[in-house]
Amino acid sequence: MTGDEIRKTRFREALRGYHPRDVDRFLEEIAQALDNGTSATALFADVTFRDKLRGYRREDVDQLLDRIRRAV
């Protein structure tokens, strides 16, 4: 998985979901780590996302994060 692939990912909205700003910032950190050739594994240690009305669908975000974890 590449940083560009992560940046191109779009999520569906849910009535209650993850706060988009939190998710976008975290994914950008991972994308930058991949672009720089550094390990992104440590970034997953303390990741949490706030809840938000009309946020990113949790299942979609969780699936992407699982794919990234398996790839790095």
pTM equals: 0.93
CA pair distance 17, 19, nearest whole angstrom = 6
Between CA 58 and CA 56 the distance in angstroms is 6
User: 45 burial class (0-12, 13-18, 19+ CB within 10 angstroms)?
Assistant: exposed
Could you report the per-residue pLDDT of 13-71, keeping only the tens digit for each? 999 999 999 999 999 999 999 999 998 888 998 899 999 999 999 999 999 999 999 98
What is the pLDDT, as a whole number, of residue 72?
Answer: 80
